A and B are shown apart, each in its own frame.
Chain A
């Protein structure tokens, strides 16, 4: 301990070689916990969709590491640990305690995201906290309508001990299982998260022992300082000083909701002020402030410093402000279930603000994705509830075409059709790229897709597909054309976005997911690229002629 004190001072005095090694080892141990969750979860949304996250905090509750490559949650702004400590002060916590909550104002913005938090001890001393969170396949609540309060959206779990000194709280699990449609799946997933906490406790203790550092505080200070400095440098280098304004909108229910972002870059810091955005909605498309943070900070990180690991230092130079009562900072008990269908459009407004001052790390508007919840019962009485993602196109970049069926900003993964059909009683009729849905330009936007399925169940299937922005086409950048918008339909008839529909046997639902915008004038597009797109059927002959003045040679076909 003494011998190490010289090197383990907080701040930049840390040797850059030792810090690299310790830091990498720290992230590796968080990754181990993430692997344990992936491997033991029962839900496709966790395993295939990777909709979960693992975070490590120091004893002061500062987030110092998150898993890097396994989960897709960008859950860098959970304030669960800080809020939990207000209710369960450190003095009341013991080794083996696990606190569970799904407060949307603390974690990821809706009740489906459950977090478990454990205090971490080393030799009887509190050294930090671990948090594992994941999207649950179901959380109860109404499937049939459009909730007006969070109470209608499912089970609210206040911060309570799910495990106390290593003993499972059977009351909690009984309450949980009684309130969700797929009890075994959800309770297994909560237990998978708890497994992640066990791994963290074991590994963190080993880590401290091995490096004889006593606790995580000195390392945390160095990691945070280094990350903050890197982010400041990144901001200075990539976002010129100034005040920029950008806009975006989402479909909303009755009328569109507007996002207004005022981005101020000054001296290595960025402030994103969302004042002027629409007021809180009566429908569940409100984003709690933590979720508004997630996408605001994500956007700045992509531009300024994409390679810095996530921790509290990385995000320290970024400030996000949204007036209370606006739909990006709603007041309890606002309904929030469909927060992705508005939160995913915050980056669009920020990118819009910065489009003329940021060169490379920029893209035209993307087609996002539809989240599709499917729930029902099989004839044998067994319930199912799962969530799949159907991706739109990712916008063109200043030097590259966009990507087909690749969701931006939120990443996830599809569920193989063969797997989907084995867990939900439906038959997928087509899953195809939508030609011409990628906006034209020097660089073409990525195309969206059409995903069509029919019920093969004798019992009704409740399906709720939410996208958030089907009506307005994703816009091009620097003179590039817009992509195609989208629609959701049942038996050929358009149905409203975000509202549940009931599919009877043989009913067919069709989801046309938007493409994305192009970049630059079409006159500058490489002819061979147009020819290739036409040959591949990505661009139709008519669109090629209309947008690029390109005519296929009569003998060139196949």
Chain B
């Protein structure tokens, strides 16, 4: 029986759906037999020389292992860090930027702000386009959208020829106030289409239509910079897929905001794909929560270098419109390139298994954000790393099994962990080694819990009302303590947490968000004009999805508006009622805005005018109807007991003899009481004192924490 009541639609259930996530280290595969919901997973090392070759290798492997004919792959959903890597490693196209005369330095100047005021040796990310490749063009549009100086078209034609002759592949155009009036940007695109059809042109009014010339230029340039790379890759992949017979579907591409889009759209707006991996994780968390009937969730994904936290309300991950990519300094905000595009709202903290513990300038214990990464990695990997890391502490405390890390694929050396902790933390702090190890574990947990709490509170939410979904290599190890620190009552540990993103791709609906600038008082909205703005956006969205073979009648539209008090800089998203826009609908929006405003800031400003910043439309297809295979009920947890080992009990401050279970042997309904450890290949679930765990019929573990703790 389908779990997502009311969301499913009649579809063909034959064949397989395949999700492929290219990550920094591994490329993950999730293969679902659509009739039975049987899920199998695969992992290969990411092939940096030829990314699509790596995908094909892993794909052939997983198909062969499961005796699946390529032609039976009916749905192929792909997410890739290719765009992100091209931005970070500066391997994008040779790109030029065209700006309004007098504003050549938009990118170089940025916001003219130092993200760390005490660091004299501060660095900023170099712009993607060097100053030499920024070209000014005579034209000017005013703040109200009026044309003040018309576009010097002859100069544009001349420039187009010059750009072609200097071998530039991609052009970004960002003219002042183009988000209000795109006529000059459009004209430039037309001239390039005639004069330089081989050059790919990205317009700021199309890619990122919002006020603020630097952020808009930065986003448009990023889009232009990765577009040729992305086009080449996706075309290449398509050809290779066809060659082996995966012909049933054109690949769908995962976006940063939790939707999938057709390949053609992805090539047009690659800047929408940057955070696809984390988005897949959040969408998977939403799905897994949903099958247990939990809609208000906090997705907690802790890997080797960072932890990511995403708040999900009623099954919908929260969304935002701006983030940064390629931070040059730790994860400091302001040290990356700003990207203004729809994205699932996540906070990323420099807290992972590889995070390094050391003594701070203050003489206190500091964990992260520096990371030993995968190479040399934590001291216990024995790959030459000498720094004490979170993984070393987790091993010291017995949470990890030296002989069953990655399912025994990698032996850990406890002695090296002890040595690193003792030398770099315990001795300098003057505390015993076990206290240092506990300290590392506690400090990293607190760093994550604190960030999660501030994130929730800023949004007017109380984490105690939420269920955590914990995944990533280190997530299940730390989830219990983090949840307890946040006062949360429940944690879900999904099965196969190691390929959550790839799985998440398969449960994400086709969706695309469109934005149009409004800039008008809420009580004076031009209803007729707004109505046609929505119509125009929705038509564009529908065309896009229909191009991917989605039937018009199964397409739905969600309308939103970004609203703020006039004069403020930050806005809040409120739903726009469907159907005809009238006074009643505007009042409903105002009430929604005031409610959200009060929740966040504890007050409102009566009498102060409210304005609509922009109108948004999310056009989506149906949610994929994925039903996971059920595990049979069976013997109790005892059947899955592997043995006991010494594990540190933080609440009581001592090592105890702790039972260890095999995740894969847990039948549906099996119950475990903490303290306990549950081992699986990609991670380890740590269950603390007082917690209770039950395996559900999908092999997800549901942990209940004792109430009353804070």
Contact = CB atoms under 8 A, between A and B. Distances in A.
Interface of A: 12, 15-17, 19-21, 23-25, 28, 31-32, 35-36, 38-44, 47-48, 50, 69, 72, 74, 184-185, 188, 191, 195, 198-199, 210, 226-227, 229-230, 233-234, 298, 301-303, 305-308, 360-363, 389, 391, 397, 399-400, 403-408, 411-414, 416-419, 421-422, 427-433, 449, 452, 532, 535-538, 558
B109 A414 contact: yes
30 contacts: A16-B430, A17-B435, A17-B438, A17-B439, A20-B365, A31-B454, A42-B565, A48-B569, A69-B115, A69-B333, A72-B117, A188-B605, A195-B601, A198-B602, A226-B363, A233-B361, A301-B118, A303-B120, A399-B121, A404-B109, A418-B179, A418-B213, A419-B211, A421-B143, A421-B177, A430-B101, A430-B103, A449-B109, A537-B132, A558-B166
Contact of B132 (A305, A403, A427, A558): A558
Interface stretch (B219-227, B340-348, B443-451, B626-634): B443-451
A434 to B, nearest CB: 10
A308 B362 contact: yes
Contacts of B430: 16
Given A31-B454, A199-B602, A306-B116, 13 more contacts: A19-B364, A21-B446, A39-B568, A39-B600, A39-B601, A72-B113, A226-B362, A306-B120, A411-B114, A412-B113, A418-B211, A422-B211, A558-B132
Interface stretch (B77-85, B123-131, B547-555): B123-131
A25 B449 CA distance: 10
Given A32-B457, A418-B211, A432 B605 contact: no
B2 interface: no
Interface string B208-241: 0001111100000000000000000000000000
A538 B127 CA distance: 14
B666 interface: no
Contact of A417 (B213, B442, B454): B213
A24 B447 CA distance: 8
Contacts of A414: 109, 111-113
A32 to B, nearest CB: 6
Given A230-B361, A414-B109, A421-B143, A32 B458 contact: yes
Contact of A430 (B102, B119, B120): B102
Interface string B390-401: 000000000000
Contacts of A412: 112-113
* List of 9 A-B pairs having minimum Cβ-Cβ separation, nearest first: A430-B102, A17-B439, A306-B118, A413-B113, A536-B131, A421-B143, A20-B364, A42-B567, A47-B569
B213 A25 contact: no
Interface in B127-180: 130-132, 140, 142-143, 148, 162, 166, 176-177, 179
Contact of B120 (A48, A397, A418): A397
Given A39-B600, A428-B102, A432-B105, A418 B364 contact: no
B142 A427 contact: yes
Interface of B: 101-105, 108-109, 111-124, 130-132, 140, 142-143, 148, 162, 166, 176-177, 179, 211-215, 332-333, 359-366, 429-431, 435, 438-439, 442-443, 446-447, 450, 453-454, 457-458, 565, 567-570, 600-603, 605, 608, 710
A240 B165 CA distance: 58
Given A39-B600, A40-B601, A360-B121, A405 B362 contact: no
A427 B361 CA distance: 48
Contacts of A361: 120-121
Contact of B601 (A28, A36, A408, A432): A36
A15 B431 CA distance: 9
Contacts of A532: 130
B454 A28 contact: yes
Given A17-B435, A188-B605, A406-B114, A38 B214 contact: no
Contact of A16 (B364, B450, B458): B364
Contact of A74 (B117, B431, B710): B117
Contacts of B131: 433, 536-538
Contact of B365 (A17, A301, A417): A17
Contacts of A230: 361-363
Most buried by A among B105, B116, B443: B105
Contacts of B601: 36, 39-40, 195
A418 B118 contact: no
Nearest to B445: A21
Contacts of B176: 417-418
A438 to B, nearest CB: 12
A357 B490 CA distance: 57
A210 B602 contact: no
A399 B111 CA distance: 24
A19 B429 CA distance: 12
A55 to B, nearest CB: 16
Given A16-B365, A230-B363, A432 B102 contact: yes
B103 A25 contact: no
B442 A307 contact: no
Contacts of B143: 418, 421-422
A81 B116 CA distance: 27
Contact of B103 (A17, A188, A227, A432): A432
B174 to A, nearest CB: 11
B481 to A, nearest CB: 12
A227 B362 contact: yes
A339 B245 CA distance: 73
A302 B120 contact: yes
Contacts of A400: 121, 123
B105 A431 contact: yes
Contacts of A74: 117
A383 to B, nearest CB: 13
B568 A405 contact: no
B602 A432 contact: no
Given A16-B364, A188-B605, A538-B131, A416 B213 contact: yes
Contacts of A199: 602
A38 B113 contact: no
B361 A41 contact: no
Contacts of B122: 403
Most buried by B among A184, A188, A411, A428: A411
Nearest to B600: A39
Contacts of B105: 404-405, 431-433, 449
Nearest to B439: A17
A406 B124 CA distance: 11
Nearest to B130: A536
A192 B540 CA distance: 41
A536 B134 CA distance: 9
A210 B485 CA distance: 11
Contacts of B446: 21, 24-25
A82 to B, nearest CB: 25
A17 to B, nearest CB: 4
A218 B501 CA distance: 46
B132 to A, nearest CB: 5
B664 to A, nearest CB: 36
Contacts of B117: 72, 74, 411
B169 to A, nearest CB: 16
A416 B214 contact: yes
Most buried by A among B124, B131, B140, B214: B131
B607 to A, nearest CB: 9
Contacts of B104: 432-433
Contacts of A47: 568-570
A199 B104 CA distance: 42
Nearest to A536: B131
Contact of A404 (B108, B113, B364): B108
A481 B222 CA distance: 36
Nearest to A15: B431
A451 to B, nearest CB: 10
Contact of B360 (A195, A307, A403, A404): A307
A190 to B, nearest CB: 12
Contacts of B443: 17, 20-21
